[in-house]
Structure 1
């Protein structure tokens, strides 16, 4: 059963899902061993009735009528948790890539600091990690350093903890995978800290993978977001120099 201290009771675990009914039930059930507040955000899935999958359980399902993107799903959950008075939201992927047992690694860091984002840095020293994933990780870290001056090892990990009362008040433009790049940069600009924790990860063989990531479309979105963020950063520096 989940731990019962006050902080843990105000941590919500969020699982965005789009057409991955085969894995999401197992992920959610395992997460419920560590946290009692679990939300599955069905982002317009057509492979199953996700609400029906979780019927009769204590897991909350929020549904989008159509696919709106992972970023939008996270924001939907964020707004719901803010209304419920939650302190933190931990997001975890629905495909089974992450190990729910690693939720235990996040909790002590959240107890120590209520204003930090915690990113789970994936162990890539395993089988079946694609070259594109390795490159994307380095690419994202490079741009975060340009945008904010900070460096973390894994900007693309979807296993993260967000401080709800701070993040829910911020405005974001990305609604797909570009959201996960945007939120880190804007959080740093807002004065929030970024912490990391090492996590394990599992990748199936390429022909067995189920992913909502669209290589062309989503990479274009991410690149455009980095262009936007770098432009914003340059403008900030120009204005700062003028004020000196």
Structure 2
């Protein structure tokens, strides 16, 4: 038995064969329940995932990180005893001690959703161009401002069952992060941010979002919000 038998980590993965086994094996030292969604990888990601003891769900084609997260959350919600759900990156950026402290806040009933932030405590680890993009996104996003978020595109999130059951991610690509923030801004849920330690390796930096992609995300969300009005 583990202290975290009621916690599920949801990891979307696309062509992460180089690192995915190490990421999952390290996470399973703390969190025994992990579902990895192989989002149509063309490398050997699935073979490596199968060696870890994690649950594997495959998309036959690449649908994007948003779709992979929705698939993983839906799978985890069906598991007996699942009460808390963490979205966790496949590239090694996220750290399990951060998930532990985020789960503790939910167990104490201090929030329904806990979001990780790279900017509450400045560590100097965030690459400068990424820092500019992310801080700009949080500043100009109406929904991020409504929630007083400092980091609206951090992939490390922990939700209780109430919040996870309500969430429906429809944007398949990277714009899902803004969609999640928009959902949280309109939902009757308690949302808080905590500082987290993101590990930027040469590998993870190569997988990051460019300035153009960041602008495209905001443009997609802007169009969606206009369509709702």
Aligned-CA RMSD value: 2.6
Assess if the C-alpha contact under 8 Å between 2:24 and 2:52 holds in 1: no
Measure the CA separation in 1 of the matches of 2:226 and 2:122: 28
Aligned to 2:22: 26
Aligned to 2:163: 166
Deviation at 1:212, TM superposition (A): 6.6
The reply to whether residue 14 of structure 1 matches residue 36 of structure 2 is no
The aligned length equals: 226
Segments of 5+ residues of structure 1 without an aligned counterpart are: 236-244
Tell me, what secondary structure is at the counterpart of 1:186?
Answer: helix
Deviations 1:38-70 (CA, angstroms, capped at 9, x unpaired): 11111111121x332133542111111111010
The reply to whether residue 53 of structure 1 matches residue 51 of structure 2 is no
Assess if the C-alpha contact under 8 Å between 1:91 and 1:161 holds in 2: yes
User: Paired residue for 2:199, among 198, 202, 223?
Assistant: 202
Tell me, what secondary structure is at the counterpart of 1:68?
Answer: coil
User: Paired residue for 2:96, among 89, 100, 109?
Assistant: 100
Aligned to 2:66: 71
> How do residues 128-147 of structure 1 correspond to structure 2 at under 5 angstroms?
129-145=126-142
Deviations 1:194-227 (CA, angstroms, capped at 9, x unpaired): 111211112234x873317466456424422134
Measure the CA separation in 1 of the matches of 2:226 and 2:5: 38
The reply to whether residue 37 of structure 1 matches residue 33 of structure 2 is yes
The reply to whether residue 81 of structure 1 matches residue 76 of structure 2 is yes
Measure the CA separation in 2 of the matches of 1:112 and 1:231: 38
Gap change, CA 1:218 and 1:126, over 3 Å in 2: closer
> How do residues 231-242 of structure 1 correspond to structure 2 at under 5 angstroms?
232=228, 235=229
Measure the CA separation in 1 of the matches of 2:153 and 2:186: 18
Aligned to 1:238: none
Gap change, CA 1:218 and 1:146, over 3 Å in 2: closer
Measure the CA separation in 2 of the matches of 1:212 and 1:18: 13
Deviations 1:134-155 (CA, angstroms, capped at 9, x unpaired): 1221122124445662211111
> Rg larger in 1 or in 2?
1
Assess if the C-alpha contact under 8 Å between 1:15 and 1:92 holds in 2: yes
Deviation at 1:36, TM superposition (A): 1.2
